[in-house]
Amino acid sequence: MKNIKSHLFILLLTLTPFFFNATTIPFELIDGKIVVDVSIKNNRHSFIFDSGAFTIISAELKNQLNEKKSTTVFEGVDANNAKSKMEVFSTDYIQIADLKMKNINFSFADINWMSGRACKKISGIFGANMMKDKVWRLDFKAKTITVFDKPQEQSGTVAAIPFSEESFTGVPKINAKIRNQNIEFIFDTGSGMGFTVNQKVYDKIKDKDFLTFEGLLSQSLNSIVKGQRQVDLMEVELNNTQLGPQIIDSSSDSPNLIGTKFIENYLVDLDFISKKILLANEGKKPQYQSFGIALAPVDNSIVIVNKLEVPQLSEIKLTDKIIKINNSDVTKASGDTFCKIKELLDQNQSITIENESHKTFTLEKKDVLQYLH
């Protein structure tokens, strides 16, 4: 009996780390952004989980974190390559699930525009510098992030990719090969696209068959980008592992990013202990579901701000004002109106829009990659 108890005790000691060193955090996926609940002095706030950024907290929360000002000035570059200088503070008053984060560096910024886009109050960016010394497992099927204190074995792993970290921010960078070009990327859970490369890189790898989007392309912390963006499917290799065709899109002059349109197809371990990323196959293929247009409130009107340039949408014009969607009047575009429209677009596979000229168009949500030959 003593031997049985002894063995049982040893077994429990062996298993204890697996049971007690993991924290599970639910998340929402909103427009490709991972949104998690963060606690500040027992008050819950929504943050974007963003491995491609330094931690940012809404200026509205100033003086609520017992923050201490540092002598450091953070010179940041956002996803659109816009530069800015921000003061750095530190705090011990941030908690996510049961993880109490200590001595977290961050900057304050006006991020109200994020709330408007998400139709949800966003109070900050949970940046890469908050992820250090832990493993963050991203499960897009369960919509959970599991946090471990030690590296984990992962069944079904198809690629193990080493990464380097940016100094100060901790942002992970990896190398990929696309059409014989070696390209450095930021592994960016805050980007809603697949593999985004700057125009100079895209010109080296493009062929004659690609899709073009025109209009408002992206908005980030300090900038808005308008113009054209190309989208294509290309074979990608990560750490000598062929991952098949992936969505590649161009940007004006931003850093090269790997975003959630790629990441969501895998079970991902973002391991800041061993400095590597594990990808386990979830049996998903790249898709780009879209109506072919994007709508946004502009001067109290709902306007087409982005459009896929294909013959099937040739009669729809960029900057057209939309007065009806599915026979509902949307001529007065408050924030609440836009959020209802966004919900309608998310929930329906087909919509009918009417412009100021009283022309109506029925649009189907589909994988626009099918337009590639």
Same domain, residue pair 241 and 295: no
Q: Is residue 104 part of a domain?
A: yes
Same domain, 264 and 161: yes
CATH number at residue 213: 2.40.70.10
Residue at 202 is within a domain: yes
One domain, residues 267 and 327: no
Alpha carbon distances (Å) from 337 to 174, 254, 297, 324, 354: 41, 32, 9, 12, 16
Quick check: is 7 in a domain?
Answer: no
Do 34 and 132 lie in one domain? The reply is yes
Q: Do 197 and 115 fall into the same domain?
A: no
DSSP H or E run through 309: none
Amino acid of residue 193: M
Residue 4 inside a domain? The answer is no
Q: Of 138, 162, 180, which marks where a domain is finished?
A: 138
234 and 315 in a single domain? The answer is: no
Q: Domain containing 344 — which CATH number?
A: 2.30.42.10
Same domain flag for 296 and 313: yes
Kindly state whether residues 271 and 293 are assigned to the same domain: no
Note whether residue 254 is domain-resident. Answer: yes
Domain boundary among 254, 281, 308: 281
Tell whether the model's pLDDT for residue 218 goes beyond 60. no
Q: Are residues 88 and 113 in the same domain?
A: yes
Least confident of 98-102, 115-119, 302-306: 115-119
Secondary structure of residue 202 in the 3-state scheme: helix
Shared domain for 197 and 294, answered yes or no, is no
Residue 267 shares a structural domain with residue 321: no
For residue 305, being part of any structural domain is answered with yes
Q: What is the mean pLDDT of residues 86-109?
A: 96
Does residue 82 form part of some domain? yes
Q: How many domains would you assign to the chain? A: 3
Q: What's the confidence (pLDDT) of residue 18?
A: 39
Q: How is the chain split among helix, strand and coil, in percent rounded to 5?
A: 15, 50, 35
| 172 CB neighbour count, 10 Å cutoff | 27
Task: Tell me the average pLDDT across 333-358.
Answer: 89
- Whether the pLDDT of residue 9 is over 60: the answer is no
* Residue 261 domain boundaries: 149-281
Give CA–CA dist 24/147, Å, rounded. Answer: 6
Range 21-42 average pLDDT = 95
Q: Is the domain of 48 the same as that of 119?
A: yes
- 46-68 pLDDT, tens digit per residue, is 999 999 999 999 999 999 999 99
Nearest to 200 by CA among 262, 254, 238: 254
Last-in-domain residue among 229, 257, 281: 281
